[in-house]
Structure formats: C-alpha cells, structure tokens
Amino acid sequence: MNLAEFPLLSLAGLSLLIGVWQWIAGSRFRFSPIGPGAKTGAPGITLLKPLKGADSETENCLRSWLNQDYPGQVQALFAVNSAGDPASAIVQKLQREFPERRIELRVVSELVGSNAKISKVHTLSLEAVFDFWVVSDADVFAPPRLLAGIKNNLEKKQVGVVNAFYQLADPSTFGMRWEAVAINADFWTQVLQSNSIQPMKFALGAVMATRRDVINSIGGFKALADFLADDYELGRRVFAAGRQIALLPLAVECREQAFGPVHAWKHQLRWAQTIRACQPIPHFLSIISNSTVWPLAYFLCFPAKTSASILVAAILLRSLTCWSSALRLTGQSRAFYLWMAPLKDLLGFGIWLVSIFYNRVIWRGEIYNLLRGGRLEKNP
C-alpha cells in the first residue's frame, strides 16, 4: 500500500466501524410488550391529530387510536383544512362508531405559521380537556396498549416527551423498499447510536406524547409553527428546559399507499434537508458513515485484490447488519434488505450532495424555502 491509498482506506475502515457500532447499539435495545396496568384511575388523554387528505389506510390508522386498551378517557381532536377534505367523512364515521370517545372535528383554515401540521396542532391544543397530549401523524397505526405505555412514562415528572420508534409497513415497491431500509433498519439504530454518546435531545415526529405543562413551559406549539423539523425543535426545547425524552419499548407502524422511487427521493431529500438545517456539521460529517461508498471509492481508485476484498466484505457486512436490524424492529425476515442496503447507500450519497446546496422543500404539495435555523418560508 502506498501513502496515496491511506485516506480512502481509512475512510473505508472508519465507515465499517461506525456501521458495526450502529448495529450493536440497535441490538442492545429491548423491544417488549406493554404490560397490563391499573384497571381504574388512569388519567385522561387528548389526541391531537392533524389531517390532510385520505388514502386506503387512513381509516384503519385512525381507528387504531380509538381502539386502545386504555381504561382512562380519551378525547380525540381532529383538524382538517376544509370541510370537504376526504378525511372529514372518515372522522364522522368514527364518531358514530365510537360514541363513548370524545371525538371532535375542527376545520382549521387560518394557520399560525408555515408548518401547517403544527398550526393545526396548536389550534387543537387550545381545546384539549386533558393534560396528557399525544400528537401523531395520520398514517400511524397504534398497537393496542400504546396509550398505556405513554401514560406510564408521562406520569414521571422528569419526562417531558415520550416517543415510539416507527416502521414502514408492507414495503411492496422499489420506492417503499428503499424507504424501508432508511426507516426499518437505519434510522432507529442511528437514534440509539446517538443516544449511546449523549442523552436524547430530539423527538420523533410519528408519535410525540407530552403534557400541557411541558408545552406551556416552551411557549406552546405556536412557538414551533415556523420550523420544518417541529419534532427536533420540540425535543431540543424540552431537553433545554430540564426534561428527559423517553423511548417506548415498541414500534408503531406507518401505513402508506404504495409509492415509487420519485416519492422516496423527495421524502428522503426533505429528511436530509431537515437534518442539515438542525445540525449542519453532523449532517456534513454523516457521509463518513456510508459503508458502501468509501470501500467502493477505494476499489475504483486503487483496484487490487486487497481493495476488492474490502469492498466485498463491506457489502456483506452492510447487507447482513441491515437485514438483522430490520428483523429486530419489524419481526419480519425480508430478503430485499440484503441487496437494497448497499443500493440505498449509493442513492443516499446523491441525496446528501443535493441536500447541502438545495434550500427548497416540497411538503404536502407546497413549496417552501428553508431558512437558517430550520425555519420555513412559503415560496410565493
């Protein structure tokens, strides 16, 4: 080996070590069911659900939050942009199906910030009857004892936010399988890898449970309404206020209609832009952990038996750890993780490059400019 090879060889080796560390962090986390709690005396919980449009999975996802094995009262507040939104009919159907739940539908046409989701959540929070709040996306399917697990954590005064990991359910297309590697294998293990260095300082947007007093202490949801990464900003402010962020030992499902690679590209680009806006230096350095790109670059620049062996070993290691991590989260052994993982890394390199320079965000069909600090500005 000559000295010219050393930088790429070092990056290849470092990326493999980071990948193994990430896998170990994930393997140490214990998923377990939420046990039975007290049959009476559970505090009421208010669900804050912003909606926009509907697909074939929306009804079942919303119903899962009303079918909870939870002894306390549940108030479910839903918000749409207009009365004609397809989600409105679903909520009205659920009102008839669950008369014992306090289900209310609100039309929120006036926004308090660029982030339409958090604007709706802010408006709904003003009508919350109970002090325990759960914000979740419309495509989240909740396991039956999720609210019980949330309650157990929120009763601890030092806890400010409770999160659950999430998995992409039924990845049946190329775009969904690409996304599944990012969500079902990489994201949750990266969170745990980060947590092995320092306490968790951000929230996970699919499910964010908190209390009224916690939100009031950071200025209310309105204070988050101009940020793209409302989950990151919520967690950052809650942690800065001296509260902990807890992780439940289970994962919810994100159920979406089948989508293709263009949708996956846009979503992961927005995800990368979000990370860059929140943590620019860690985002820039994150490319070092790409355990396919650097061994490949080393081989292409210095083709030889040694570099070829390192590349083959890197691909095998990346494929197996990806498959293993996805199996732990989802409980399903799917062969596509083996070949999709290195391909996702190559596509991810392109997303990383674009995210550094591209400041426009496409979200729910709207175009925004991404400003310094992660604030959003509607593109005129």
- What are the Cα distances from residue 348, in Å, to 21, 194, 224, 279? 19, 19, 28, 18
In the β-sheet with 207-211, what is the strand arrangement from edge to edge?
Answer: 102-107, 74-80, 45-50, 132-136, 207-211, 159-168, 244-254, 140-141
**What is the token pair recorded at 322?**
């990806």
The pair of structure tokens assigned to 100 is 């014992």
What is the spatial distance between Cα 370 and Cα 376, in angstroms, rounded to a whole number? 5
How far is Cα 39 from Cα 72, in angstroms, rounded to an integer? 9
- Residue 196 is classified by DSSP as T
Separation of alpha carbons 189 and 177, rounded Å: 17
In angstroms, the first-to-last Cα distance of the chain is 55
- Residues 318 and 341 sit within 8 Å (Cβ to Cβ): yes
Q: What angle do CA 344, 347, 352 make, to 5 degrees?
A: 115
What gap in Å lies between CA 211 and CA 157, rounded to an integer? 10
Closest listed residue to residue 254, CA positions, set 298, 216, 204: 204
What does pTM read for this prediction?
Answer: 0.93
How far apart CA 316 and CA 155 sit, in angstroms, is 45
Q: 45-258: what fold?
A: Spore Coat Polysaccharide Biosynthesis Protein SpsA; Chain A (3.90.550)
Coil, strand or helix at 59: helix
Of residues 118, 135, 206, the one with CA closest to residue 164 = 206
Contact 294, 11 (CB under 8 A): yes
pLDDT at 220: 96
Parallel/antiparallel/unpaired status of strands 45-50 and 74-80: parallel
Ordered strands of the 360-363 beta sheet? 360-363, 366-370, 376-378
Among all chains, which residue has been given the structure tokens 């995210």?
Answer: 355
Task: Note whether 317 and 20 are within 8 A (CB).
Answer: yes
Q: How many Cβ atoms are within 10 Å of 100's Cβ, its own excluded? A: 8
**Local confidence pLDDT in tens for the 380 residues of the chain:** 678 899 999 999 999 999 999 999 999 999 998 877 666 679 999 999 999 999 999 999 999 999 999 999 999 999 999 999 999 999 999 999 999 889 999 999 888 888 989 999 999 999 999 999 999 999 999 999 999 999 999 999 999 999 999 999 999 999 999 999 999 999 999 999 999 999 999 999 999 999 999 999 999 999 999 998 899 999 999 999 999 999 999 999 999 999 999 999 999 998 898 888 888 899 999 999 999 999 999 999 999 999 999 999 999 999 999 999 999 999 999 999 999 999 999 999 999 999 998 888 776 667 777 877 788 777 66
Let me know how long the chain is: 380
Domain boundaries, the chain: 3-28+266-378, 45-258
| Residues contacting 212, CB < 8 A, separation 6+ | 128, 131, 132, 133
